[in-house]
């Protein structure tokens, strides 16, 4: 296997099944290599924002509407095609391409599950066309895994809801045109998860690492990006909201959606986790290709390091793990295509593929030796990018304990 990986430079030719998925992979690979890969290093090293040209081209290719049904202006291509595209984009860059689809996917799934017909008609077409960029705002400075305890408040007034409080780690919040924001509409702390509602919060798009959005009525939304070693290109913001007014019709599900935000958000996260299975597989694939290429070219002790059995052994194991992550993710995508509520497989795919991405990128870095630590070699970016994957959308221990194990035990008990 190791020798074969080196000979083929780690290329991914995995069997896919439907022709439409094969065509999607070819076209996404071509786009990612030609348009994204040449910019990826610069965006990472200078912590730049994803260029508008990438967003525009992805919009033209229909990538933001893969899971939006055709009747709402999307492609209705389903989860497998969406995952194959995500994987190819993530090979080129996790943050400046592969992760752009995640946010619209999460909001799309939440709207399809709990939105009113009018809300679906209003929001899904511009999400699908890429006209609206989306941020997801759940986490707060003092509350992460314990989502039911979030404190950002929403109070009724002036035909809408006033939002007050702090949010943390809202990726893409600067550039985003709307935030899907989870807030407490029932002040009774005993209400817990049942006191939360999900809002679509409009805002202007801002470039850069800090912004302030002021409403004519005095509402303020302030955002400041937190510096990170990797996952650059979208920026993740700490947010402060003061009397920020959101129209009543922007509460997902309107009256019927009050108190359902936690449930809808979790539906969205199931889609996000499937996405992350694809993102993680893409990062691991990038490391595999870079490492196979390096092993063929780097010479020590009078021969290519890829001629050493130890290097071949490493590449064989790396390739097997990447293939397993990919196939688990595809299986989760197929399961979700058959049944939208199939969240368990998606959580497993996210958990496993994220671990694989961390391990494979670090193995690849070792094969690169000292040059693996140089910014000049892309493997150093893959290592820092991969590290975020087991953290977001359910940090690894929570995913294991509260999502996967609970679902298994629940199913057995049922
Ligand atoms: C780069 C980046 C981008 C992000 N983007 C977004 C975004 O766009 N939107 C958003 O809403 N959030 C985002 N997040 C936030 C992310 O989802 C949270 O960081 C994550 O859910 C974990 O929450 P926390 O950081 O508060 O950790 P905590 O909840 O404080 O957990 C820390 C650790 O405590 C332990 N722990 C906690 N509870 C338990 C328990 N019950 N049992 C056992 N152990 C436990 C675990 O070891 C866990 O790893 C992002 C984070 C990062 C780093």
> Catalytic residue among 52, 105, 393, 400, which?
393
Query: Exposed (0-12), middle (13-18) or buried (19+): which is 396, by Cβ within 10 Å?
Result: middle
Locus of tokens 């045109």? 177
Q: pTM of the full predicted structure?
A: 0.96
The Å distance, Cα 261 to ligand 1 centre, comes to 19
Question: Which tens digits make up the pLDDT trace of 302-324?
Answer: 999 999 999 999 999 999 999 99
Domain 134-261: which CATH number of 2.40.110.10, 1.20.1070.10, 3.40.50.720, 1.10.1370.40: 2.40.110.10
Give the integer Cα–Cα distance in Å for 278 and 326.
7
pLDDT band at 411 (very low <50, low <70, confident <90, very high): low
Question: Which tens digits make up the pLDDT trace of 184-209?
Answer: 999 987 899 999 999 999 999 999 99
Give the integer Cα–Cα distance in Å for 246 and 366.
50
Question: Which tens digits make up the pLDDT trace of 264-286?
Answer: 999 888 889 999 999 999 999 99
Cβ(44)–Cβ(98) below 8 Å: no
Strands (E), 185-334: 196-202, 210-214, 220-225, 236-247, 299-300, 303-304
pLDDT score of 108 more than 90: yes
Q: How many CA atoms lie within 13 A of 56 on its CB side?
A: 3
Give the integer Cα–Cα distance in Å for 111 and 72.
11
Class of domain 2-128: mainly alpha
pLDDT band at 414 (very low <50, low <70, confident <90, very high): very low
Domain extents in the chain: 2-128, 134-261, 263-413
Nearest to 134 by CA among 197, 192, 68, 79: 68
4 part of the active site: no
The Å distance, Cα 391 to ligand 1 centre, comes to 6
In the DSSP assignment, the letter for residue 300 is E
Q: Ligand 1 in contact with 388 (CB < 6 A)?
A: yes
The Å distance, Cα 354 to ligand 1 centre, comes to 15
Give the integer Cα–Cα distance in Å for 104 and 109.
8
Give percent of the chain above pLDDT 90: 92
Mean pLDDT for the chain? 95
Which residues are CB-neighbours of 339 under 8 A, at least 6 positions away? none
The Å distance, Cα 397 to ligand 1 centre, comes to 10
Question: Which tens digits make up the pLDDT trace of 118-153?
Answer: 999 999 999 999 999 999 999 999 999 999 999 999
Give percent of the chain above pLDDT 70: 99
Cβ(252)–Cβ(259) below 8 Å: no
Instruction: Pinpoint the alpha helices (H) of 185-308.
Output: 254-257, 261-297
Q: Ligand 1 in contact with 136 (CB < 6 A)?
A: yes
Give the integer Cα–Cα distance in Å for 357 and 385.
9
Cβ(90)–Cβ(278) below 8 Å: yes
Q: Ligand 1 in contact with 137 (CB < 6 A)?
A: yes
Query: Exposed (0-12), middle (13-18) or buried (19+): which is 60, by Cβ within 10 Å?
Result: exposed
Q: Ligand 1 in contact with 196 (CB < 6 A)?
A: no
Query: Which architecture characterizes domain 263-413 according to CATH?
Result: Up-down Bundle (1.20)
């Amino acid at each position: 296997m190791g020798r074969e990986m080196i000979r083929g430079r780690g290329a991914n030719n995995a069997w896919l099944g439907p022709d439409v998925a094969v065509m999607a992979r070819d076209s996404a690979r071509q786009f990612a290599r030609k348009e994204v890969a040449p910019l990826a290093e610069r965006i990472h090293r200078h912590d730049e924002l994803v260029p508008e040209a990438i967003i525009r081209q992805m919009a033209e290719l229909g990538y933001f509407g893969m899971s939006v049904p055709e009747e709402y202006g999307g492609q209705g291509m389903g989860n497998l095609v969406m995952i194959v595209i995500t994987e190819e984009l993530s090979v080129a860059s996790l943050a400046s391409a592969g992760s752009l689809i995640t946010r619209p996917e999460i909001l799309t799934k939440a709207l399809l599950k709990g939105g009113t017909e009018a809300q679906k008609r209003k929001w899904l077409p511009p999400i699908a066309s890429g006209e609206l960029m989306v941020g997801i705002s759940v986490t707060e400075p003092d509350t992460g895994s314990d989502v039911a305890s979030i404190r950002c408040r929403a109070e009724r007034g002036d035909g809408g809801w006033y939002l007050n409080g702090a949010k943390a780690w809202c990726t893409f919040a600067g550039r985003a045109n709307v935030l899907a924001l989870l807030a407490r509409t029932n002040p009774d702390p005993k209400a817990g998860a049942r006191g939360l509602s999900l809002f679509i919060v409009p805002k202007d798009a801002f470039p850069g690492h800090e912004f302030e959005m002021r409403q004519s009525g005095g509402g303020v939304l302030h955002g400041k990006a937190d510096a990170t070693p990797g996952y650059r290109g979208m920026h993740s913001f700490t947010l402060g909201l003061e009397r920020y007014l959101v129209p009543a019709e922007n509460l997902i599900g309107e009256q019927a959606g009050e108190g359902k935000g936690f449930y809808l958000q979790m539906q969205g996260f199931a889609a996000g986790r499937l996405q992350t299975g694809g993102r993680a597989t893409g990062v691991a694939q990038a490391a595999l290709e870079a490492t196979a290429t390096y092993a063929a070219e780097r010479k020590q002790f009078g021969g290519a390091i890829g001629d050493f059995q130890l290097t071949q052994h490493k590449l064989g194991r790396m390739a097997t793990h990447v293939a397993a992550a990919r196939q688990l993710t595809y299986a989760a995508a197929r399961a979700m295509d058959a049944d939208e509520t199939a969240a368990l497989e998606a959580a497993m795919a996210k958990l496993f593929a994220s671990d694989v991405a961390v391990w494979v990128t670090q193995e690849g870095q070792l094969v690169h030796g000292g040059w693996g630590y140089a910014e000049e070699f892309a493997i150093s970016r893959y290592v820092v990018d991969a590290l975020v994957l087991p953290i977001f959308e359910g940090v690894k221990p929570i995913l294991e304990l509260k999502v996967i194990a609970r679902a298994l035990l629940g199913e057995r008990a049922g």
